[in-house]
Amino acid sequence: MCGIGGVMHHDPARPVNPDVLVAMAAIQYHRGPDGFGVKIMSDRGVGFTHARLSIIDLNPERGRQPFVSADGQYMIAHNGEFYDYKRIRADLTSLGYRFRSKSDTELTMHLSDRYGLEGALPHLRGEFAFALYERSKDRLTLVRDRFGVKPLYWTMTPEGLVFGSEIKVLFAHPAVQRRFSSEGLYHQLMQLIVPGTSAFEGIYAVEPGQMVIVERHDGQLQVKTKQYWDLNFPRQSERGQRLTDEEYIEELRSRFIEAVQLRLEADVPVACYLSGGIDSCTIMGIAAASQQSPVKAFTIGFDDRDYDETAIAREMAQATGADQDVLMVDGNQLYDHFARTIWHTERSIYNTFTVAKLLMSEHVNKAGYKVVVTGEGSDELFAGYPQLRLDMILHGMDDASPEERADLEDWLAESNRLFKGNLLAEKALDDPALTNLVGFTPSCLQSWLSASAYVPSLLHPDRRAATQNYSPGEAVAHALDREQIEGRHPLDKVQYIWIKTQFESQVLGWAGDRVDMANSMEARPPFLDHPLVEFAVTLPQNMRLRGRKDKYILRETMRELLPKALYERQKFAFMAPPSHTDPVKQRAMQALSATYLSKQAIEEAGLLDAAGVQKILQRHGDANTPVSDRVQLDAIINHMLSVQMLHKHFVGNDVPVVARDRAQERGWYAKDQLVVVT
């Protein structure tokens, strides 16, 4: 895993500044501390840059990117991993292709030469984001993996297109403007964002499974997008004959074991993240069975019994003979490192477990590891989250009696009481645009949509006026593909919508890659192996949820690997204790608020309304406020802190100067690694 960046000018004769490219690499040094490279096609106005984290082919020169093909037709900068690369490389070698490195990245140029880029993509298995320039077509294509595990952003300037693995990489370019959009700010305060957008004006994310294609026409770059892969849950009318439970279980077992084993392949040691959940524990079990030596397992613990999972994680570690390392995190740490976390997430966060994940990746890095295998994706594929189960109860159980539904709904609410006002909305909400699209408003979006009621009073009057008639639900609904929703079972619909919204931007984004790579830590999620996913979307609903068992098929498939307590345990969302749960956290949050949410700080940023902010803080601090309301208000306070920090990091600071300074601090200079291709 690495960091990439680059430019393509409208005018091919316009020189590309190599020092800017080096600065774009240096500001994402955390993604690639093992070296950098810069290549420019001087006659095409195209330049790529790369910061390297060496995982495959550790040779510092042979694996240095960007790569240019021997005939000069292709240039690529790649972030991520392609699995099964040895087999593909052997196949291409037998067809006459010659490789100059052992890197998996080089595959893409040869596959594109043989099949065309679009034909090459089905061969690429893993987590990736890359830029490929094709000289013969004068075309730049930005490609992101099927789920968006790896980030990739782009923007258009008067000079041309600028792209990079993180938003700060774009901001390191002097031609890129740094300002919040009013709609982006609105969404930062309610957590839910519109797919493909960011907090900032004109800064776009390449969406999961998407290509952004950039071509020159009459001296101007034109941009179009194309979806090369999507989940494709079968329509209800297209579902074939149901297999037996045993057949589904054996198919999942085979695909899952292969997915885990592929992700243990590296030229450096590989560890596992281990929580008290079934997802990481099943991975731990397969990893332990696949390796000769004990697997290193890293676990986060909290100083609050309601949220701490270390006991059951220890039980799993002991059962597999893992070498477990537990990092205990307290309330002060969560707020002491909040601002540093926001520098990396580049968007607001609602819960400080993101900070805990950053501290964990730092701990893992110091322990000498660069790669961990993680459990993300299981809840999305097998409907583990309570909000997905709620929609199954409400909308997907045609044969259930009203009494059965009510009983299950009461049980779900009681067993997830800690998450009321967060994952589960306090009160049901109907959004007309989403109901029109789906048939009902998905529960997985309701708590965030309900938080939008607070947003107008929190916005600076100018921003409030600019969003007076704005509907966040309508914006999200418009960004979703109706073709992927129509005709599907209600559970399939809500899984798809969660994956396209909160999963990509939250679970994989600010709680995943961004805080892992903040400390040069590559995270590999085997549940998102696309052959496994393409099987999982065909599962009948009762193989995902059965009675009171969530993730039924995974539990049954891995039953022999799991301690009895874990096999019987319901899904528990990984989350840090909110600030109101103890005085230490409350004081730490208040100290941050005194700095970032003071009247002076708010006036300087020009984003928020000081009176509205003060009302939220007062209501949250009132012990008489209902607990579920305080849970929601805690998230809103985190959002307010986040946007103020985002402003300080990326608008208040001169980011191009920061980037140049970081290049000098690292001793990274264009003259050392620049290659000009003509």
Q: What is the DSSP string of 237-258?
A: GG------HHHHHHHHHHHHHH
Angle at 83 between CA 224 and CA 526, to 5 degrees: 95
Task: Of 165-174, 188-197, 553-562, give the lowest mean pLDDT range.
Answer: 553-562
How much is the CA Rg of the chain, to the nearest whole Å? 24
CA dist., res. 503 & res. 240, Å (int): 28
Give the strand order in the sheet containing 220-227. 67-68, 74-82, 126-134, 139-144, 210-217, 220-227
Average pLDDT (167-179) is 98
Choice between 324 and 399, residue whose per-residue pLDDT is larger? 324
Helices (H), ranges, 205-244: none
Amino acid at 636: I
All residues at 6 or more sequence positions from 450 whose CB lies less than 8 Å from its CB, including other chains: 425, 426, 427, 429, 632
CA dist., res. 526 & res. 257, Å (int): 9
Average pLDDT (237-264) is 95
DSSP state string for 410-469 = HHHHHHTGGGBTTTB-SS----HHHHHHHSS--HHHHHHHHHGGGHHHHB-HHHHHHTTT
| Alpha carbon distance, N-terminus to C-terminus of the chain | 28
Q: Residues 566, 312: contact at Cβ < 8 Å?
A: yes
At residue 32, the 3 state secondary structure works out as: coil
CA dist., res. 287 & res. 373, Å (int): 9
Cα distances from 180 to residues 201, 418, 605, in angstroms, run 5, 33, 10
Q: How many CA atoms lie within 13 A of 530 on its CB side?
A: 23
Q: Residues 315, 565: contact at Cβ < 8 Å?
A: yes
What pLDDT is attached to residue 574? 61
% of the chain beyond a pLDDT of 90: 75
The token duo for 120 is: 């090459």
Predicted confidence band at 583 (pLDDT cuts at 50, 70, 90)?
confident
What pLDDT is attached to residue 675? 83
Predicted confidence band at 180 (pLDDT cuts at 50, 70, 90)?
very high
**pLDDT score of 156 more than 90:** yes
What pLDDT is attached to residue 253? 97
**How far out from the chain centre does Cα 59 lie?**
29
Arithmetic mean of pLDDT over the chain: 92
DSSP state string for 591-657 = HHHHHHSSHHHHHHHTSB-HHHHHHHHHHHH-TTS-HHHHHHHHHHHHHHHHHHHHHIIIIIS-HHH
% of the chain beyond a pLDDT of 70: 97
Return the axis-axis angle of helices 245-262 and 278-290, rounded to nearest 10°.
70
Q: What tens digit of pLDDT does each residue of 6-33 get?
A: 999 999 999 999 999 999 999 999 999 9
The phi and psi torsions of 265 (rounded to 5 degrees) equal -80, 120
How many beta carbons lie within 10 A of that of residue 351, not counting itself? 23
Q: How many residues does the chain have?
A: 678
What pLDDT is attached to residue 418? 61
**pLDDT score of 210 more than 70:** yes
pTM equals 0.95
What pLDDT is attached to residue 567? 76
**pLDDT score of 1 more than 80:** no
What pLDDT is attached to residue 422? 66
Q: What tens digit of pLDDT does each residue of 72-104 get?
A: 999 999 999 999 888 999 999 999 998 888 888
Q: Residues 356, 302: contact at Cβ < 8 Å?
A: yes
Choice between 19 and 585, residue whose per-residue pLDDT is larger? 19
Strands 270-273 and 296-302: parallel
**pLDDT score of 421 more than 70:** no
Q: Residues 350, 505: contact at Cβ < 8 Å?
A: no
Q: Identify which of 437, 539, 537 has the alpha carbon closest to the alpha carbon of residue 486.
A: 437
Tell which phi-psi region holds residue 203, choosing left (phi > 0), alpha (psi between -120 and 50) or beta.
beta
